[in-house]
Structure 1
Amino acid sequence: MRRLSLLALPLLFVTAPQPAFAQSSPETSSDMTAPLDYPETRRGDVVEDHFGIKVADPYRWLENDVREDKEVADWVAAENKVTDAYLATLPGRDIFRKRLRDLIDYERFGLPVEKGGHYFYSHNTGLQNQAVLFVRDTIDGKGRVLIDPNSWSKDGATALAEWVPSEDGTKLIYSIQDGGTDWRTVRILDVATGKTLDDKVEWVKFSALAWAKDGSGFYYSRFPEPAEGEKFQATNENQAVYFHKLGTEQAADRQIYATPDHPKYGHYASVTNDGDWLVITTTEGTDNRYAVTVLDLTDPNAKPRTIIPKLENEWSAVGNRGSQFFFETNKDAPRGRIVTMDVAAADPIATVKELVPQSDATLQGASMVGGKLFASYLVDAKTEVRRYALDGAADGTVPLPGIGTASGFGGDQDQKDTFFAFTSFATPTTIYHYDVASGEATPWAKPDVDFDPDQYDVAQRFYTSKDGTRVPMFIVHKKGITKPAPTLLYGYGGFNVPVLPAFSSTRLAWMEQGGVLAVANLRGGGEYGKAWHDAGRLHNKQNVFDDFIAAAEDLIAQGVTTRDQLAIQGGSNGGLLVGAVTNQRPDLFAAALPEVGVMDMLRFDKFTAGRYWVDDYGYPEREADFKYLYKYSPYHNIHSGENYPAIMALTADTDDRVVPGHTFKYTARLQHADIGDKPHIVRIETRAGHGSGKPTDKIIEEYADMWAFAAKWTGMKVTAQ
């Protein structure tokens, strides 16, 4: 089990639908190079002393919750009015909108989960705002609807989030995500009748949902209920693990594990496949540094027992045979290895034995299915899945359909089969059924998308960053395009998160118009293990920006594009990236699209999940970290007197991962500064959050706006396909 970064974003981001303005032709649309009439934004007088440095924060008031503060709400409305009016002038916006709608309109399936002879899976017919949960009684049988979240809200912004069937397949835990928030409301469904039980659990966030083996209830993690008015901004602390017994009120839930002396610790609980052990993984931030606590569920008098007390290394439980546990770890192995440990021993650490040693590739995850170990590795940002016997003996690899990204391989340890998904830049996500004994993979759900993959070139090249480091970059485009061409450069570079090949309908709409997609695998990510991550975080963060700038310079030097044709995009930590490099090299880009970015590096840890990010960014209250953060913080380093590219920042009012105040303050400072006449606007979505759960119609509207904006400033001629 490897926990996803608490800042990571899915490939598809989202935003609110905008009015369908009349399409302007290139000949009649305004050039819009004159300065826009931005709203007047009040400047406050907040100045703080940080280690002898006076730091002004004139827009501190824009951190206030838009739901609670009328002045902030009025500012948001005024900014959206300017943005809507500008976007209405952009040639190609309607063309992108229509084509995006066509490209997204294809049948999509999620990975099936088999329990009690039932197969549970998500499905979207194409343009449904939210995927629907289905169940089949046989692997190829007819599915029936279990949960359709499209009926939950009029705007389609209430989503089905996590779901877990019970061991016998008769019950289902599911969680509800409203308006994009990270908060979850957890309910229970009777699979046979399709009826929701009375059980209701709230204030759940960043939690696993784990059934007891006998189906009597489930384990989960929750935070204390926030104070009135602080639901979307208060820091998340004092998470604890609870057990909810079916048929009871949440107030009766039994607390299993808590660390009141360490309020910043977070806890993630899972139950072993045999049902005998509860495994609680504890972390303090976003690094893969875990403590591990186990509880013997076969002994009603047992107490939680911490077997790995220090937050020093990754210890992700893969499976077990009795008290012998299989762990994925980076202890003494920066690229990962698999070991065994006897958790019942007096000194479990002393029993650690290496099973699968570290290799040149980066271990991304492992699972136990059908009496085999499946280990997923990254080889130059591409997936390779290796099989092992339970004694560690190599047992071949899983043949994949091509160069791309595979995920899945879950299931019970004694199950005879499993499922995996495969995708690449030119291959829509396909679900495969995999027979463990024969090693045969057969398509279970293969999408039919309105495009021809043979018309596209996918290449990987390596370029040299400022300090001589070789960095990989994928370059994708239609065959036969004329270069230099309008180019979209994407990056993330943080939190040990690798950016892998994946199909995207939204990106396809850009490439169909003759645009190039470039995806750089920057340091700070997880492409090459711990060393690659460490080289791009804390006081090495500038390496990430240098890598991204070098990627842009390489694209220009290779004749792929020019600086007048280059747009940059990134979300969340990638939004920070785009904001920072735009400040550092405004001459290098024609357009910038920072999405839900971390823009104020001196106050990121004051809100919601921001406190977790100190592992990658450092502590603003520590002098050495402050001085480093202050040098690159996007909000604090906007330079008047320089000609900036066109910028459209994006955020959402219900983003309680990276609170929208980051983007609000950044935008206000952009608009106040003397940085040229190109537009510097903000697109603020309503009833949406950091990315997950966004409805399809909002995705279409957002990407139509982003691509039209980027097309305008990179010189792309948008034509109907």
Structure 2
Amino acid sequence: MKRLLTGVAFAALSMTAAHAQSEVDVMKNDPFLWLEEVQGEWALDWVRAQNERSLAVLEAHPAYEPMLSEANAILTSDDRVPSVSLRGGYAYNFWQDKDAVRGVWRRMSQKDYLAKSDDWEVILDVDKLAEDEGENWVFAGTDCLAPDYSRCLVTLSRGGSDAAVVREYDIDSRSFVDGGFELPEAKSSVTWLDADTVLVGTDFGEGTLTDSGYPRIVKVWKRGQDLADATQVYEAATTDIWTYPYSFWDGESYTGGVFHGETFYDYNWMVLNEDMEAVRLPLPKKASLSGFSSGDFVIELKEPMEFGGETYTTGSVIAMGRAMEEVQVLVEPTREIAVQSVATSKDDIVITLLDDIAGRMIRFEERRNGKWRGRDIRLPEGGVIGLRTMDPSTGAVIATYENPITPDTFYLIENRRPKEIDRSPAFFDAEGMMVKRYEATSSDGTKIPYTVIALKETLENGPAPTIQYGYGGFEIPILPSYGATAGKLWVERGGVYVNTNIRGGGEYGPAWHQAGLKGKRQIIYDDFQAISEDMIERGITTKEQLGILGGSNGGLLMGVSMVQRPDLYKGIGIGVPLLDMLRYDKLLAGASWVGEYGDPDNPEERPFLEKISPYQNLKADVEYPRPFFFTSTKDDRVHPGHARKMARLMEEYGQEFLYYENIEGGHGAAANLDQAARRLALQYAYFAGELGLIGYDEE
């Protein structure tokens, strides 16, 4: 009875008055609501019992220990090439290894970095800080003040949650600034305007957050001023998603503004004028302000834009003058060309493209005769191009090239000619490995690409244990990158690993994503299942050897695939998932995703969610694969209640499942490298057991 009463009380508190059902109806419709109480006594008792039961199974598998050792060796290798941020003549890096589990923030001169020196200056030792302060700190990034970058706003999370504290840090003295800018734990965003002024969006007290739990008010905060006395410059409705500040450095001063999300995809971009008034840019709601260079705003369009008698197409990148009177098209998409990323310095713009998923990079040099001129940077073709950093003052870029069996090669680009500066080590033996691209035909006739990574002999010998990875949402592309742990722990042992480019992602631009929004979302699941069937038809794998894997939105994909096609899969890895699609918008940041999934309280949108929601569609009399749920108590983005309730319902139905919840870890389900290695070893040991991989016998 205590468990049920706790569930009712929590359910009543977790719903707004407008959406609340009666306690009787809540209990009738969902007897496992008590598992939504994240730190509830009964909930955590259940979690610990499931962890103990499941770890006994997974850690006993012969592959687990060797896989754990290999994952640790990869994640903590001293041979990794440090990925850096260039600014103020220095290369900054955050580094974790076996001795620095939480990590160290460090730097060296750009000249020394390019000379491959290992003489790093430690700026902040997070392990020592955590020990000194008795906190489980996870380093979550910095924002440093131009032009010398010696004063920084450091973000630290407890256990890896999205909510974090912000503290001002002085690099020269290696200490936090006494009386400096400091924010308590919240989902904050703060950025510099000058040495004594910041723009801040945070939890200012009762009524200052949106229904999604994000800031709805932005203020200008002066040094020495109480946060409560900061000057408000913008306010959004509680039903909107968020308001966050931003700023760009133009080489002399900062330009500040406000990013207001009415929904996850409908934005208002404001610029602050000299009187600190927010002036809206004349952009469509579906557009992103991606940078500022030589007096121009650089904008990505997610829908057509009418301006000055011209129409600018969806997927274009445009430059708009600060006076907002003229526009120049920098990139215009085609059916196969989509924008991957945009970066700016004070004088230059660099854009990476996906050309039928292969990477390209274009540099736009300082304007001549009022126009930008773009030229391709000559990087290797046919793989993934990554823009790692761009110096905001000099425009120097560090970029990488990789493919599924070729680790990163690092290039310095100071004009249009890349100079190779380093190569990442190979963490698995790629000798005899193959990368093959195929296309499956989805339910509407659309061709859906996917990439297969395997040993040549594995493919030649016939069907093999296969992990099919998918995401399919939020315009996030899944690229054929170098997978160190997948290659070592799985492919080397004779397994097949598959990346899928299903709709909902960004591989072919906004249209590829928008094809699967809300009630059109079933096409995403059709795409994924079509790839599964295509691989079986090609003889790559069989139903008894096919496993699928995904996290977050990909965890929803896994849950839907399990309940829709239990006959098609032998193993399912369901990571930090959304699974209760009739209550997702009531849990943590869920309300912010209504633009992606639809509104359960909208009578026109609810029927589709009822049709696909894994939690509500699980059946007692259906034989399902034994899934592996993994999540984190500290995940304050996707509520752990999704995984808990689905697993508990399977328990109620007498269905087999495995479950592991990291008590720390945030949305990545791991708060440090040790936890990350363990999660990877559990994941691959699970698939080895379910799919019959036997390549660990020699260990």
2:361 matched to 1:380?
no
Distance 1:376 1:658, change over 3 A: same
Once residues 638 and 286 of structure 2 are traced to their aligned partners in structure 1, the CA distance between those partners, rounded to angstroms, is: 26
Which residue number corresponds to residue 316 of structure 1?
A: 289
Once residues 651 and 176 of structure 2 are traced to their aligned partners in structure 1, the CA distance between those partners, rounded to angstroms, is: 50
Is residue 328–residue 365 contact of structure 1 (8 Å, CA) maintained in 2? Answer: no
2:328 matched to 1:357?
no
Amino acid at match of 2:280: T
Write the deviation string for residues 189-229 of structure 1: whole angstroms up to 9, x where unpaired.
211221111335335656554322x43343332134579xx
Once residues 80 and 596 of structure 1 are traced to their aligned partners in structure 2, the CA distance between those partners, rounded to angstroms, is: 15
Moved more, 635-644 or 244-253: 244-253
Which residue number corresponds to residue 419 of structure 1?
A: 398
Distance 1:119 1:245, change over 3 A: farther
Q: Which runs of 5+ in 2 are unaligned?
A: 12-19, 114-118, 305-311
Residue in structure 1 matching 2:587, options 607, 610, 613:
607
Write the deviation string for residues 11-44 of structure 1: whole angstroms up to 9, x where unpaired.
xxxxxxxxxxxxxxxxxxxxxxxxxxxxx99798
Query: Secondary structure in 1 aligned to 2:693?
Result: coil
Q: Once the 2 structures are TM-superposed, how far is the Cα of residue 169 of structure 1 from its aligned partner? A: 2.2
Distance 1:524 1:138, change over 3 A: closer
Is residue 379–residue 401 contact of structure 2 (8 Å, CA) maintained in 1? Answer: no
Is residue 377–residue 418 contact of structure 2 (8 Å, CA) maintained in 1? Answer: no
Moved more, 142-151 or 109-118: 109-118
Which residue number corresponds to residue 453 of structure 2?
A: 476
Once residues 446 and 607 of structure 1 are traced to their aligned partners in structure 2, the CA distance between those partners, rounded to angstroms, is: 43
Which residue number corresponds to residue 298 of structure 2?
A: 326
2:76 matched to 1:105?
yes
Query: Secondary structure in 2 aligned to 1:494?
Result: coil
Residue in structure 2 matching 1:87, options 58, 76, 82:
58
Distance 1:352 1:544, change over 3 A: same
Is residue 369–residue 418 contact of structure 1 (8 Å, CA) maintained in 2? Answer: no
Which residue number corresponds to residue 637 of structure 2?
A: 657
Which residue number corresponds to residue 340 of structure 1?
A: 319
2:470 matched to 1:496?
no
2:119 matched to 1:132?
no
2:89 matched to 1:117?
yes
Write the deviation string for residues 224-260 of structure 1: whole angstroms up to 9, x where unpaired.
4579xxx9x9841443223444455544544332224
Which residue number corresponds to residue 640 of structure 1?
A: 620
Question: More relative contact order in 1 or in 2 (CA 8 Å, sep 6+)?
Answer: 1
Write the deviation string for residues 69-123 of structure 1: whole angstroms up to 9, x where unpaired.
2121222222222212322432321121122223333233554333332322223
Is residue 507–residue 517 contact of structure 1 (8 Å, CA) maintained in 2? Answer: yes
Once residues 219 and 711 of structure 1 are traced to their aligned partners in structure 2, the CA distance between those partners, rounded to angstroms, is: 50
Which residue number corresponds to residue 309 of structure 2?
A: none
Is residue 411–residue 420 contact of structure 2 (8 Å, CA) maintained in 1? Answer: yes
Once residues 53 and 61 of structure 1 are traced to their aligned partners in structure 2, the CA distance between those partners, rounded to angstroms, is: 11
Residue in structure 2 matching 1:307, options 281, 285, 291:
281
Once residues 660 and 250 of structure 1 are traced to their aligned partners in structure 2, the CA distance between those partners, rounded to angstroms, is: 32
Once residues 462 and 285 of structure 1 are traced to their aligned partners in structure 2, the CA distance between those partners, rounded to angstroms, is: 34
Once residues 430 and 299 of structure 2 are traced to their aligned partners in structure 1, the CA distance between those partners, rounded to angstroms, is: 39
Residue in structure 2 matching 1:281, options 253, 259, 265:
259
Write the deviation string for residues 444-466 of structure 1: whole angstroms up to 9, x where unpaired.
x4332443334421222111112
Q: Once the 2 structures are TM-superposed, how far is the Cα of residue 401 of structure 1 from its aligned partner? A: 6.8
Once residues 645 and 107 of structure 2 are traced to their aligned partners in structure 1, the CA distance between those partners, rounded to angstroms, is: 46
Write the deviation string for residues 579-613 of structure 1: whole angstroms up to 9, x where unpaired.
11100111111111101100100111112211110
Which residue number corresponds to residue 418 of structure 2?
A: 440
Aligned length: 658
Is residue 106–residue 449 contact of structure 1 (8 Å, CA) maintained in 2? Answer: no
Is residue 150–residue 172 contact of structure 2 (8 Å, CA) maintained in 1? Answer: yes
Once residues 356 and 640 of structure 1 are traced to their aligned partners in structure 2, the CA distance between those partners, rounded to angstroms, is: 52
Write the deviation string for residues 639-665 of structure 1: whole angstroms up to 9, x where unpaired.
222211111111111111011111111
Residue in structure 2 matching 1:528, options 490, 498, 508:
508
Q: Once the 2 structures are TM-superposed, how far is the Cα of residue 692 of structure 1 from its aligned partner? A: 7.3
Which residue number corresponds to residue 158 of structure 1?
A: 137
Which residue number corresponds to residue 452 of structure 1?
A: 429
Query: Secondary structure in 2 aligned to 1:140?
Result: helix
Which residue number corresponds to residue 26 of structure 1?
A: none
Distance 1:714 1:326, change over 3 A: closer
2:604 matched to 1:624?
yes
Is residue 439–residue 448 contact of structure 2 (8 Å, CA) maintained in 1? Answer: yes
Is residue 104–residue 505 contact of structure 1 (8 Å, CA) maintained in 2? Answer: no
Once residues 378 and 228 of structure 2 are traced to their aligned partners in structure 1, the CA distance between those partners, rounded to angstroms, is: 47
Distance 1:280 1:235, change over 3 A: closer
Once residues 422 and 41 of structure 1 are traced to their aligned partners in structure 2, the CA distance between those partners, rounded to angstroms, is: 53
Which residue number corresponds to residue 463 of structure 1?
A: 440
Amino acid at match of 1:623: P
Once residues 42 and 92 of structure 1 are traced to their aligned partners in structure 2, the CA distance between those partners, rounded to angstroms, is: 40
Q: Once the 2 structures are TM-superposed, how far is the Cα of residue 172 of structure 1 from its aligned partner? A: 1.9
* TM-score under structure 2 length normalisation: 0.87
Once residues 481 and 231 of structure 2 are traced to their aligned partners in structure 1, the CA distance between those partners, rounded to angstroms, is: 42
Once residues 37 and 426 of structure 2 are traced to their aligned partners in structure 1, the CA distance between those partners, rounded to angstroms, is: 43
Once residues 330 and 351 of structure 1 are traced to their aligned partners in structure 2, the CA distance between those partners, rounded to angstroms, is: 19
Distance 1:334 1:567, change over 3 A: farther
Q: How does 1:544-563 map to 2 (within 5 A)?
A: 544-563=524-543
Q: Once the 2 structures are TM-superposed, how far is the Cα of residue 364 of structure 1 from its aligned partner? A: 2.3
Which residue number corresponds to residue 673 of structure 1?
A: 653
Q: Once the 2 structures are TM-superposed, how far is the Cα of residue 709 of structure 1 from its aligned partner? A: 1.3
Amino acid at match of 2:262: E
Distance 1:339 1:183, change over 3 A: same
2:494 matched to 1:518?
no
Once residues 136 and 406 of structure 2 are traced to their aligned partners in structure 1, the CA distance between those partners, rounded to angstroms, is: 28
Write the deviation string for residues 561-591 of structure 1: whole angstroms up to 9, x where unpaired.
1111111110000001101110011111111
Moved more, 643-652 or 384-393: 384-393
Which residue number corresponds to residue 213 of structure 2?
A: 236
Distance 1:650 1:61, change over 3 A: same
Query: Secondary structure in 1 aligned to 2:264?
Result: coil
Distance 1:315 1:448, change over 3 A: closer
Q: How does 1:55-74 map to 2 (within 5 A)?
A: 56-66=29-39, 69-74=40-45
- The root-mean-square deviation of aligned C-alpha atoms, in Å, is 3.1
2:374 matched to 1:366?
no
Q: Once the 2 structures are TM-superposed, how far is the Cα of residue 263 of structure 1 from its aligned partner? A: 4.8
Amino acid at match of 2:558: V
